[in-house]
Amino acid sequence: MAEVRRFKNRAQAGKLLAKALAAYAHQPDAIVLALPRGGVPVAFAVAMTLGLALDILLVRKLGLPYQPEYAIGAVGSGGVRILQAGVPGLMGVTQEQVDAITARELLEIERRTRLYRGGRAQPELADRTVIIVEDGIATGSTALAAVEVARGHRARRVVVAAPVAPPDTLAALQAVADEVICLAAPPLFRAVSQWYDTFDQTSDEEVQDLLAMAWRNQADRPLHTQLKPLTREDGT
């Protein structure tokens, strides 16, 4: 079981997480995929430390209509949707509400895709090791959806990595991912933020800046050390 610990900030958590992922350092078929927004600073530190490519995987939590922070599921690119057991129906949530929340979050995925990626092509995931990174995992809905998206893109191996998560969530993820790496698994878990000294909201601008730095770093590598070329979703 992972130890109980606190983190100074996302960057420090990412450096510590990189140590736990050292076996993947400089592997030519491995790629780090951050779950924006909070997962990007953590994943940036992981990717830079391990010498791996960084990209993003857009997945959105589906929150209760009257309590958005409480996840009842998640959606991801490609139409993937994960719902908690009992939804619709759980706590009075109707099918119409689930569909409305889903439509809203899919629009947000489209907005963030345009904002973060611009005209940059999606990364090719087929036959690769995909390391999905969050700043922390609570219910696990978004991480589960991210695993399904990676599987849908025919990833060879899917690793989920996060600084902190509750034990029951880790058990659920271990059932679907090839490997789960977590530094802290506190049994008394209320929120990801309680395990960080500094947990400011990550802005769109910070996400864009970190991705730009990572992509410049990748472009500057010698050709013989670069990872597989990226392709468009339509295969061109």
Q: What is the mean pLDDT of the chain?
A: 89
Q: Do residues 101 and 65 lie in contact, with contact meaning Cβ atoms separated by under 8 Å?
A: yes
pLDDT of residue 227: 38
Mean pLDDT on 165-171: 96
Tokens of 89: 């129906």
Report the candidate in 183, 216, 191, 236 with the shortest Cα–Cα distance to residue 48: 216
pLDDT at 96 over 90: yes
pLDDT of residue 2: 58
pLDDT of residue 4: 59
pLDDT of residue 143: 93
Q: Which SS3 state, helix, strand or coil, does residue 142 take?
A: helix
User: How does 59-72 read in b/e, with b if 16+ C-beta sit within 10 Å?
Assistant: bbbbbbeeeeeebb
Q: Do residues 164 and 192 lie in contact, with contact meaning Cβ atoms separated by under 8 Å?
A: yes
pLDDT tens-place string over residues 206-234: 999 999 999 998 887 653 334 333 332 33
pLDDT at 95 over 50: yes
37 cis-preceded (ω within 30 degrees of 0): yes
- Which range is least confidently modeled, 73-77, 106-110, 125-129? 73-77
Within a 10 A sphere around the Cβ of 53, how many other Cβ atoms? 22
pLDDT at 134 over 90: yes
166 cis-preceded (ω within 30 degrees of 0): no
The bridge status of strand 157-164 relative to strand 53-56 is unpaired
Q: Which SS3 state, helix, strand or coil, does residue 141 take?
A: helix
Q: Which SS3 state, helix, strand or coil, does residue 72 take?
A: strand
Report the candidate in 200, 147, 219 with the shortest Cα–Cα distance to residue 11: 200
Mean pLDDT on 51-61: 94
pTM metric for this prediction: 0.85
pLDDT at 150 over 50: yes
Instruction: Let me know if domain 10-218 sits in CATH 3.40.50.2020.
Output: yes
